Structure 1
Amino acid sequence: MYWIELLWYFIIISFFGWLFSCIYNFFNEKKFYNKGFLTLPFSPVYGASAVLCYLVFNQLDEHIVIMYIGTTLLLSFFSVLAGVVCEKILGCKPWDYSHMKFAIGNYITFPFALLLGLGGTFSVKILIPVIRLQIRYLPDYMSIIISLAIAAVILIDYVFSFITIIRLKKRLSKFRSDNKLHDEISEEELSELEKNYNKILTNNILRKRMTSAFPELRGSAYIKQVTEKLDEIKEDNMKQYTAVYEKDEDKPFASGFCFEKLFMLFLIGSFIGTCIETVYAFIVEGHFECRVGVVYGPFIPVYGGGACLLTTVLYKLFKLSDTLVFIISAVLGSFFEYICSWGQETFLGTVSWDYSDMPLNIGGRTCLLYGCFWGFLGLIWLRYLYPFVSKQIEKIPKKQGSIILVVLFIFMLFNGIMTVMAIYRWNGRIDGEPASNAVERYFDRHFDDERMKFLFPHMRDSESLEELQSDSATPDSATVDSAQQN
């Protein structure tokens, strides 16, 4: 039944959303706890968002860009609406981005809106089809009973959570009115008030969880104290990575964690990736092979993007154990590799790697072995490469560094555009489409089949990949060339 399938999408994605939030809070605050509104391990806002996107954009399979823009706008509106409704009903903000850069009101920021669009598109195109295949293994009667039972429990949890937070708000309001602060209050009285206030918040598990979900219940003074303490700890931790400067004018080029440094790390990571792939091809395959990701220069953007992602997530968590850093890097790297492969196939119609013949692979886009490879790369990057590279970048003079940054940014932007256009035209030639304008003739002259095969020896169109997989053939370079010619 269609509505039962929708209910399953809601339930399963609500669970994954809760899990994602817990993992994010663990890495951000270094402790694991349920920060959701419900006692159960579900975050219904994720499930409702995914189902909403599916109902609206499911028919746009061939219009991925329109789907992304649509889900971005729809989920941004839904996020703002849910935040406003929650604040009006409960008197507490479920989330607040007003203090962040690029904030649009209290409930959304521009970067988060883009991330919502990515999540919505991912849910419609990948996650929900996978869930659909799995739930159809359940008998109809069992699927109906289980889904309705879980939905009923979630509804009951919602009712109890609403009652708990409304009663808690009234209790706190009465406490504040009965114990107003005054100038003559002593330190002992303040300590006693704080103790009693916190006791109200934590005297049972439901109230304790509500306080985690809505930190403003503790009061602005408490939030300020916690924020200052966290900033102090982070600043102390980062002394090994970044020097502290009292004045902005004393800071060197690309000081600390900023766009300038991330872009330089992207370039360096892309170059290191080319070196790794070249050495790997020479050792494993016994011959030199050009392995790049763009038409100009020795760069593989997947490695550069991975370096930026690992740095963003891990650079403040370098005191974690090597085991945790390895696991986090492996998961992040595998996820990023999967998304890059899916994006390349979706937008360009080509595939540059395929792990379908390897054990424990996920759709041929990533696998356990290369997940471990990402884990080792992340560990080496965090422990040794990033601290050294970061200091070298900061040694660049400010004026010269700014000029170099602008030139390299323009070059890489041009490089990316040329690469995409060259690949599109290459696919057109493979399909037998003649050049119809001066631009296409330019690419036919300067980026002919021979040059493209040299630059991207393992790239093939997705249809050729499906034929190779169906024939159970190993996609070596000779087979790939033959598939592309056909």
Structure 2
Amino acid sequence: MFELMVYFLLFIIYSFIGWLTEIICIMITAKRFSNRGFLIGPYCPIYGFSALIIITNLNKYYNDPLALFIFIVIVASIMEYLTSYLMENIFNARWWDYSNKPFNINGRICLSNALLFGIMGLILVYILNPFISHLLFKANETLIIYLGIIIFINFIFDVITSFNIISKIELTINEIRKDYTDEINNIVKSILLQKSFLTKRLIKAFPNFKSINKTIKNKINN
């Protein structure tokens, strides 16, 4: 139980670091604050999952930084691509689009991001994880277990609440249209921004959000 909670807390910590990194990047490039992530809380699970995969499966390349870097890039790219693909197929909406960036694959991943993730992964393996893991494994077991349970309950509540919000954006038709236009996307955003605070936060967090179906207006207004 203790070890399980340690890894869960590592997941939460790295999800938070990923969320913080996203915010800093947006503040630098767009000169604005944006609460990034699908969830309400300050974490981006894709970073947490990727970090766990890296620290549990790629340690054998610890003494070969180049190989480690390459595999981190591969893992991060697969995770980002799968997340984009699954979110689009579940909710019929695309939450980010790298089509305007060079060396992209279907607008879901791009080379510049992949290389950045590779660098972040090296920092994780060589600097962050040894320090953070040591602290958690040396901490009081009872404290870690109770802290993990409390955070887990809060995390599950966050997931349920966030997916309930996202479900309002879901587009349910038999044939997914790929020829959506900027006009449709702008209409969708304007409708969503009239909804609850949490819905507004989600849309503002993903300004490149693109819907695939015009009928979203009816879905949201129901």
TM-score (norm 1): 0.37
- Say yes or no: does 1:406 pair with 2:142: no
Unaligned runs of 5+ in 1: 1-251, 429-446, 467-483
Counterpart-to-counterpart distance in 2, 1:329 and 1:313 = 10
Q: How many residues align?
A: 192
In structure 2, give the amino acid aligned to 1:379. Answer: L
- Say yes or no: does 1:386 pair with 2:129: yes
- Correspondence 1:73-88 to 2 at 5 A: none
Match of 2:212 among 463, 466, 469: 463
Identity across matched positions, percent? 30
CA displacement 1:227-251 (0-9 Å, x = unmatched): xxxxxxxxxxxxxxxxxxxxxxxxx
Q: Which has the larger radius of gyration?
A: 1
Counterpart-to-counterpart distance in 2, 1:315 and 1:413 = 30
Question: Residue 70 of structure 2 corresponds to which residue in structure 1?
Answer: 327
Counterpart-to-counterpart distance in 2, 1:376 and 1:290 = 23
Counterpart-to-counterpart distance in 1, 2:203 and 2:15 = 15
Report the Cα offset of residue 426 of structure 1: 4.1
Report the Cα offset of residue 302 of structure 1: 1.2
Counterpart-to-counterpart distance in 1, 2:20 and 2:203 = 15
Question: Residue 52 of structure 2 corresponds to which residue in structure 1?
Answer: 308
Report the Cα offset of residue 261 of structure 1: 2.8
In structure 2, give the amino acid aligned to 1:343. Answer: L
Question: Residue 198 of structure 2 corresponds to which residue in structure 1?
Answer: 451
Counterpart-to-counterpart distance in 1, 2:81 and 2:156 = 23
- Correspondence 1:136-175 to 2 at 5 A: none
Counterpart-to-counterpart distance in 2, 1:387 and 1:462 = 41
Question: Residue 318 of structure 1 corresponds to which residue in structure 2?
Answer: 62
Unaligned runs of 5+ in 2: 172-193, 215-219
In structure 2, give the amino acid aligned to 1:363. Answer: N
In structure 1, give the amino acid aligned to 2:49. Answer: G
Question: Residue 269 of structure 1 corresponds to which residue in structure 2?
Answer: 14
Counterpart-to-counterpart distance in 2, 1:348 and 1:396 = 41
Question: Residue 110 of structure 2 corresponds to which residue in structure 1?
Answer: 367
Counterpart-to-counterpart distance in 1, 2:67 and 2:60 = 13
Query: Would you say the 8 A contact 1:426–1:448 is kept in 2?
Result: no
Match of 2:163 among 412, 415, 420: 420
Change (3 A) 1:306 1:343: same
Counterpart-to-counterpart distance in 2, 1:426 and 1:284 = 27
- Correspondence 1:123-142 to 2 at 5 A: none
Question: Residue 145 of structure 1 corresponds to which residue in structure 2?
Answer: none
SS at match of 1:404: helix
Report the Cα offset of residue 277 of structure 1: 0.9
Counterpart-to-counterpart distance in 1, 2:169 and 2:104 = 29
SS at match of 1:357: coil
Question: Residue 279 of structure 1 corresponds to which residue in structure 2?
Answer: 24
Report the Cα offset of residue 461 of structure 1: 4.6
Change (3 A) 1:367 1:360: same
Question: Which of 1 and 2 has higher RCO (CA within 8 Å, sep 6+)?
Answer: 2
Question: Residue 195 of structure 1 corresponds to which residue in structure 2?
Answer: none
- Say yes or no: does 1:336 pair with 2:83: no
SS at match of 2:198: helix
RMSD (Å) for aligned C-alpha atoms = 2.5
Query: Would you say the 8 A contact 1:270–1:303 is kept in 2?
Result: yes
Query: Would you say the 8 A contact 1:253–1:393 is kept in 2?
Result: no
Report the Cα offset of residue 415 of structure 1: 1.3
Query: Would you say the 8 A contact 1:426–1:449 is kept in 2?
Result: no
Counterpart-to-counterpart distance in 2, 1:347 and 1:426 = 10
Query: Would you say the 8 A contact 1:359–1:368 is kept in 2?
Result: yes
CA displacement 1:454-480 (0-9 Å, x = unmatched): 23421635417x9xxxxxxxxxxxxxx
SS at match of 1:334: helix
CA displacement 1:256-309 (0-9 Å, x = unmatched): xxx3332111101110011101111111111222213202x2111111111112
Counterpart-to-counterpart distance in 2, 1:403 and 1:322 = 37
In structure 2, give the amino acid aligned to 1:298. Answer: P
Change (3 A) 1:456 1:270: farther
In structure 2, give the amino acid aligned to 1:302. Answer: I
Query: Would you say the 8 A contact 1:290–1:454 is kept in 2?
Result: yes
CA displacement 1:197-231 (0-9 Å, x = unmatched): xxxxxxxxxxxxxxxxxxxxxxxxxxxxxxxxxxx
SS at match of 1:358: coil
Counterpart-to-counterpart distance in 2, 1:374 and 1:384 = 15
In structure 1, give the amino acid aligned to 2:12. Answer: L
